[in-house]
Amino acid sequence: MEHQAKRAKLVDDDEDAVLKDIEVKVEAKIEDIEEEFVKKDEEMDEDNDNENEDESEAEKAEEDDVDKFKTVYEFQGEKYMYKERAGAVEEREGRIEFRVVHNNGSRESFLILSGLKSIFQKQLPKMPREYISRLVYDRNHASIAVVRKPMTVVGGIAYRPFESHRFAEIVFCAISSSEQVRGYGAHLMNHLKDYVRNTSKIEHFLTYADNYAVGYFKKQGFTKSITLPKSLWKGYIKDYEGGTLMQCTMVPRIRYLDVPKILLLQRTAINHRIKQRQEQFAIEKQVRRKGLEVFKNQKFEPLDPLDIPGVKETGWTAELDSLARKPRKKGEHGIMQVILSEMKNNAAAWPFMTPVSKEDVPDYYDLIAEPMDLSTMEQKLEKDQYDNMESFIYDARLVFNNCRKYNNEATTYYKNATRLEKFFNSKLKEYPEYQHLVS
169 tagged catalytic? yes
109 within 8 A of 124, measured Cβ to Cβ = no
225 within 8 A of 246, measured Cβ to Cβ = no
The DSSP annotation for 16-28 comes to HHHHHHHHHHHHH
Beta-carbon contacts of residue 198 (< 8 Å; ≥ 6 apart): none
Distance CA 120, CA 157 (A): 9
DSSP 432: G
Distance CA 437, CA 439 (A): 6
The DSSP annotation for 304-366 comes to PGGGSTTTGGGT--HHHHHHHHSPPPPHHHHHHHHHHHHHHTSGGGGGGSSPPPTTT-TTHHH
Ramachandran angles phi, psi of 280, nearest 5°: -70, -35
Helix (H, G, I), strand (E, B) or coil at 247: strand
Catalytic residue among 59, 62, 84, 169: 169
DSSP 223: B
Query: What's the Cα-to-Cα distance from 399 to each of 74, 254, 269, 410, 418, rounded to whole Å?
Result: 57, 42, 49, 18, 10
Q: Between 389-406 and 374-382, two packed helices, what is the crossing angle to 10 degrees?
A: 160
157 within 8 A of 217, measured Cβ to Cβ = no
Distance CA 389, CA 229 (A): 35
Distance CA 123, CA 153 (A): 14
> Is the dihedral angle over the CA atoms 393, 399, 402, 408 positive or is it negative?
negative
Q: Measure the N-to-C terminal CA separation of the chain; round to a whole number of Å.
A: 43
Known catalytic residues are 169
